[in-house]
Chain A
């Protein structure tokens, strides 16, 4: 961000803190792309970054009336964005399964007869389960697994559908093979 934009952001953020509603749009327009870029750098995932950037911008604007005009608006905003990113990571980090939980009992990457048989059986089982998915679930799973064109959905809607498709796949898998997670 160049100095002129930074000064403009400082002026508009101070005005917003004073209750000048006309400063809302300039602050929104300047901060949004900066926040998305910044959080993308932190999270390395554009979709998650946009989610977190939205939360961060909401937090920044809800605290705009407490902004201290002697401080730099950009640094202040980035501090809030980093906190938002950290709390998000903590929240979803706690939810994710540990690596041991999903570990297979033995390696299937080598070329022993047992490993080949295991690999073939696993592939057939996955195909059978995926074959039972509904077309709309299959579409998002394929789009997520292979780098093909995604269905015309918003990022959040796509993620939600993918989440649902994975949950359905898991249910189908459990129905056919039971819960084979080891821990």
Chain B
């Protein structure tokens, strides 16, 4: 490599730093790809799976690349998302399968799972000194999308149940914190 003029070199160095972050972010977002692959294998809905999985992967990369509280949120969101993904899938396959065809059961499983994940994330955001609501927002979105990959099995009701569960658990916490701030 030939030597670069100092003014251009700073720009090149900054670009190298951002590319490095992006590569690292893509590596750290691997659970999104894993969940997408499992969802595709289980649910046989490639279009919806890849749309949701692609959004999750892009969002996770963006958050990991940005850094700071966004990275923490992506980490927590993916961890909670794995739970949100696994619970409906396991419930459908092993336990509730005979009764899960009713809309009420589907809503109960997915909504309950979303609610649990939302509570978990609210608790996890409590020790943060700053930007707790930003953390909660991004972590909830990541967890909801991850959970939705598992809820594809249940159709639109499942997807809506998961999103509503997470929203119901996190929104009051965020509003309450905002009011007290």
Q: Is B21 an interface residue (CB 8 A)?
A: yes
- Provide the residues of chain A in CB contact with B20, threshold 8 Å: 61-66
Say yes or no: A65-B21 contact (C-beta < 8 A), given A51-B2, A156-B2, A156-B3.
yes
A63 to B2, CA, bound (A): 21
- Give the residue of A19, A20, A54, A66 whose beta carbon is less than 8 angstroms from that of B3: A54
Cβ A50 vs Cβ B68 within 8 A: no
- Provide the residues of chain B in CB contact with A63, threshold 8 Å: 20
Q: Is A38 an interface residue (CB 8 A)?
A: no
Report the count of interface residues on A (CB-CB < 8 A): 25
Size class of the contact patch on chain B: 20 to 34
Cβ A54 vs Cβ B1 within 8 A: yes
Cβ A51 vs Cβ B68 within 8 A: no
Say yes or no: A61-B16 contact (C-beta < 8 A), given A54-B1, A54-B3.
yes
Of B17, B66, B67, which is in contact with the most chain A CB atoms at under 10 Å from its CB?
Answer: B17
Cβ A58 vs Cβ B2 within 8 A: no
- Give the residue of B4, B14, B65, B70 whose beta carbon is less than 8 angstroms from that of A54: B4
| Interface flags, B83-121, vs A, CB<8A=1, else 0 | 000000000000000000000000000000000000000
Residue of A nearest to B10 (CB): A28
Q: Is B13 an interface residue (CB 8 A)?
A: yes
Cβ A19 vs Cβ B9 within 8 A: no
- Provide the residues of chain A in CB contact with B44, threshold 8 Å: none
- Provide the residues of chain B in CB contact with A58, threshold 8 Å: 12-13, 16
- Provide the residues of chain A in CB contact with B16, threshold 8 Å: 58-59, 61-62
Say yes or no: A61-B13 contact (C-beta < 8 A), given A156-B2, A156-B3.
yes
Q: Is B71 an interface residue (CB 8 A)?
A: yes
Q: Is A162 an interface residue (CB 8 A)?
A: no
Q: Is B19 an interface residue (CB 8 A)?
A: yes
- Give the residue of B1, B5, B67, B68 whose beta carbon is less than 8 angstroms from that of A55: B1
- Provide the residues of chain B in CB contact with A18, threshold 8 Å: 67-68, 71
- Provide the residues of chain B in CB contact with A66, threshold 8 Å: 20, 24
Residue of B nearest to A66 (CB): B24
A159 to B1, CA, bound (A): 12
Cβ A65 vs Cβ B24 within 8 A: yes
| Interface flags, B2-38, vs A, CB<8A=1, else 0 | 1111000110111011011100100000000000000
Q: Is A16 an interface residue (CB 8 A)?
A: yes
A145 to B13, CA, bound (A): 34
Cβ B17 vs Cβ A24 within 8 A: yes
Cβ B4 vs Cβ A62 within 8 A: no
- Give the residue of A16, A20, A51, A154 whose beta carbon is less than 8 angstroms from that of B1: A51
A58 to B4, CA, bound (A): 11
| Interface flags, A140-180, vs B, CB<8A=1, else 0 | 00000000000000111001100000000000000000000
Say yes or no: A62-B17 contact (C-beta < 8 A), given A18-B71, A55-B1.
yes
Q: Which residues of A contact B (CB under 8 A)?
A: 16, 18-20, 24, 28, 47, 50-51, 54-55, 57-59, 61-66, 154-156, 159-160
Known: A57-B13, A62-B17, A156-B4. 7 other contacts (CB 8 A): A18-B67, A19-B65, A19-B67, A28-B10, A58-B13, A58-B16, A63-B20
| Contact sample, A vs B, 9 pairs, CB 8 Å cutoff | A18-B67, A19-B65, A24-B14, A47-B3, A50-B3, A54-B1, A54-B4, A64-B20, A65-B24
